[in-house]
Each structure stands twice: as C-alpha cells, then as structure tokens.
C-alpha cells in the first residue's frame, strides 16, 4: 500500500502544485487534516526546497477549546521550526452584521487572513487540507442542491494560489498518519454531531449509502469529480476561445457580444460565454445561475432591441439590435442641450465633447461639395432663422436627403440601428428651433441641399474633441 507521503508527492508533481523554492502558507486549524498537511509538507521541505508558514484563525465559536487549539498549533510549529501566525476574529458577529451563515462567514474571514499572511511573507501558495472525503461530501451536497457539470467537479487540486495536496487522501489515511507520527491533533467535537448540513451528509447519508449501495462510495464520487473536471475543462477552454474572439470591451467597461456570433452556439458553450462576460465585468462567473442563463437566452432570442434584464451584483444585460451588452453603468437621465448661434463663430458643445465650425462661400468659388460624414454643405439662402444646435425632442421630424416627405426622427434613427442611449447624444443642426437641417453623422435635410440654383453655400464641420 502506497504511503500517504508518497501519494502527496505524486499529486504535487502530477498537478504541479509546488515549484522549487516556493513559499507556502499552510492553513492550520489544529485538526487531523491540517496537521497531517503541515507535517507532510515539512517532510518534503528539503526535497522541494520550500519555505513553510502556518496561519491559524480563532473563529470564537468554541471558547476555551479554541484557545487550546491556538496553543496546540503554536507548540506544533515551534517543534517544527515553522513560523506561525495566529489571529482571532469574531465570526458570529461578522456573520450577523453581513447576513452570512456561520460557515460562509468563517470561510470569508479565513481566506482573508490567509491572503494577509501570504502577502506579509511573500508566499505564492496557500495550502489547505481538503481531503477525498470532503470531495465526496461536496459532490453529494451539490447533487442534492441541484447543479451542473461545473458544480459536479467540486473541489479542485489547484485554483489560483490555493493548492490541495491531500485531495486524494482519505480521512482514514489521514488519521492513521497522525497516529503513526504521534501528532495528537485537536478534535472539534461539533464535527461529530449531525447539526450542520455537511455533518449530516458525512455522519448519516454517506455511511448509509456505503452500507446499502457502494462501500467504495467516497473513492467513486471523488473519481467521478475528477473525470467530469476533464470534460468541463475542455468545454471551458472552447468557450474561452469563443469569448476572446467575439467579446468587445467598451471604454466604460461594458462587455459587448454580437448576437450573430453566439446565437447558434450550443447552450453549454453559450452559458459559459455569458459567464465569461460576468467574470470580466464583476469578477465572478458563478454569479450567473441557471435561471439567469435562461433569461439571457430569452433576451437574445425573443426580445426587441432596447429590452434589458437585471442580473446579480448590479449587472444589467440589454439587447441593442444585433448585440447583447453586459454593463454595470446606470444610464443617465436625458441631458437636454440647445445652443442658439448669434454669429457663425466656432462653438464647443460640452455635452457631446465636440465643436462646430462654419464658413460661407459662393457657389462659383467652391471647387467640390464636401461629402464627409462630419462635414456638409447647405444652401445658405434657404436658412431663414438663426442656427440652433440641440439634441432631439419628442415629435421631431425632417426630410431625409433623397425623400419627398417628412419622417419621424425616431423612426429614422431606429432604421439606422442607433442604440437608444446614443440617440440623445446626436447633435442636430436646425434652422431656428424646429426645422432640422442635419442629423450630424447621418443625413442632411433634402430641403437644404445644394442645387444648381444655389448661390451661397454654408459649410458646417463637426470635430470631436480629443
């Protein structure tokens, strides 16, 4: 039978958990798992040329017993000549103040402390003592709760700076190792009582399933999680490649996905592409649950442009013609602007970060009529009022160049597939307040076009500020 230390060495090498010269912070509770982990890594210290540090957090759950835990880990680290960091946190108070369960609060504060110690000592790895039984319990918990392929992969050997060298070691092997090495770890009596959901699975459900259905259940569930992880990693990589190819990041941080590029994807890939957008935006892919993926699919396939849905962590997804936009930016209320020009002097429009310039010339001296997107020519003699530059108003209409009758500005912009939040930023050059001469960047009015009868030409140029 392979020794525990050999199993750990093999897993370290197989999953590249440790590199030569690493500084590693070991999460040390004082229980059998973490004590086994610390001692085993100490045995491998010279072989891998690593520096070890220990971090112990008192959760303030267990009164005097917690103080004895801290005393034990301190003495253990002294005997191994390992620097130990001990900290006390009021986990129940933190949980109550922030609406967490005690388990959630404890986990958050533990990992904050581990990160703090790692930063202090310059460590690149944090070793935690999850074992094969923990893996099996996690798989069962997620099956009972309902989960997808990714959830069934459960606990991973390595994620970021977190490493789990004991993940293929059973709890029985750990207990035997501690006994053989005379380590005498601390026992948390609450782990022996079926008072928490995980404890009930550990103490009641798994023994029942082992007795009635499969005596090797722990190994079977752990092996299943590992197989599914390979499948999940492959699908994840395909989705990441698609996301990298299609996603566009706007200046405000919003993520834009083209509908034509993602609508034909298998739902397994589509869900991961959506989650990649969430991860890029708020740092957590898993924040999008199954119901959110379904809502996003319906938004993409069945909603009109301009529709939006609210997602967790302040995210909003909206459909804009051929795009799905993920954003945390709250749209500002419509900001009206209107500038009447007394003279044809250059004018800055701060609301749109640009300026207009004007010139008047005779038809006979003009070599070529400007046709650029932001430079247009108009029949100056048809302008009857002072020029006004403003954004759109309800009821605006104009005669687009080439048409005979008027058209609603709203319909014109919809036809041009201008996003709703951009429509109010389009400047309009008007003859007086009501007659639109130019929808800047799109079309001039047929009423003011230059003809053979034109004598004086007004040239207007819009320049975006750098």
Q: Could you tell me the pLDDT band of residue 196, with boundaries at 50, 70 and 90?
A: low
Dist CA 49 CA 165 (whole Å): 16
pLDDT score for 32: 96
pLDDT band at 59 (very low <50, low <70, confident <90, very high): confident
Residue 439 has pLDDT above 80, yes or no: yes
pLDDT reading at 251 higher than 90: no
Task: Show the domains of the chain with their CATH numbers.
Answer: 4-226 (3.40.50.620), 247-327 (3.30.465.60), 338-464 (3.50.40.10)
Region of poorest pLDDT, from 203-217, 283-297, 332-346: 332-346
pLDDT at 398 over 90: yes
Q: What is the mean pLDDT of residues 83-96?
A: 91
State the pLDDT at residue 1.
45
Q: Look at 62 and 223; give whichever has higher pLDDT.
A: 223
| pLDDT at res. 2 | 65
pTM score, two decimals? Answer: 0.69
């Amino acid at each position: 039978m392979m020794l525990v230390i050999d199993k750990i060495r093999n897993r370290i090498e197989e999953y590249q958990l440790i590199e030569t010269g690493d500084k590693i912070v070991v999460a040390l509770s004082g229980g059998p798992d973490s004590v086994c982990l610390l001692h085993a890594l100490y045995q491998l210290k010279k072989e891998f040329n690593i520096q070890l540090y220990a971090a112990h957090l008192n959760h303030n759950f267990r009164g005097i017993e917690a103080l004895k835990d801290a005393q034990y880990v301190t003495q253990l680290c002294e005997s191994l000549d390992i620097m130990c960091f001990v900290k006390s946190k009021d986990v129940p108070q933190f949980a109550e103040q922030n609406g967490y369960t005690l388990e959630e609060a404890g986990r958050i504060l533990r990992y904050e402390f581990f990160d703090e110690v790692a930063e202090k000592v310059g460590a690149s790895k944090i070793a935690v003592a999850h074992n094969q039984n923990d893996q099996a319990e996690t798989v069962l918990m997620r099956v009972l709760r309902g989960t997808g392929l990714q959830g069934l992969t459960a606990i991973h050997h390595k994620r970021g700076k977190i490493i789990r060298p004991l993940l293929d070691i059973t709890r029985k092997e750990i207990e035997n190792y501690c006994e053989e090495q005379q380590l005498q770890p601390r026992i948390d009596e609450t782990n022996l009582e079926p008072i928490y959901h995980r404890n009930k699975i550990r103490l009641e459900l798994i023994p029942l399933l082992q007795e009635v259905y499969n005596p090797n259940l722990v190994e079977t569930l752990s092996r299943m999680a590992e197989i599914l992880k390979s499948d999940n990693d492959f699908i994840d990589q395909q989705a990441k490649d698609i996301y990298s190819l299609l996603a566009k990041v706007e200046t405000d941080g919003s993520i834009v996905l083209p509908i034509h590029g993602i609508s034909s994807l298998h739902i397994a890939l589509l869900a991961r592409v959506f989650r990649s957008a969430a991860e890029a935006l708020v740092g957590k892919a898993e924040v999008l649950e199954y119901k959110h993926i379904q809502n996003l699919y319906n938004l993409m396939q069945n909603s009109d442009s301009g529709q939006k849905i609210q997602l967790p962590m302040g995210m909003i997804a909206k459909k804009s013609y051929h795009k799905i936009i993920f954003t945390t930016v709250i749209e500002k209320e419509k900001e009206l602007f209107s500038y009447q020009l007394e003279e044809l002097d250059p004018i800055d429009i701060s609301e749109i970060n640009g300026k207009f310039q004007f010139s008047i010339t005779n038809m006979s001296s003009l070599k070529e009529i400007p046709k650029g997107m932001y430079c247009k020519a108009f029949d100056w003699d048809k302008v009857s009022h002072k020029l006004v530059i403003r954004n759109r108003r309800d009821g605006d209409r104009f005669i687009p160049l080439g048409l005979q009758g008027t058209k609603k500005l709203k319909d014109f912009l919809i036809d041009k597939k201008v996003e709703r939040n951009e429509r109010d930023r389009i400047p309009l050059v008007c003859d007086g307040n009501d007659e639109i001469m130019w929808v800047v960047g799109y079309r001039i009015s047929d009423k003011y076009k230059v003809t053979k009868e034109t004598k004086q030409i007004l040239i207007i140029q819009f320049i975006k500020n750098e």
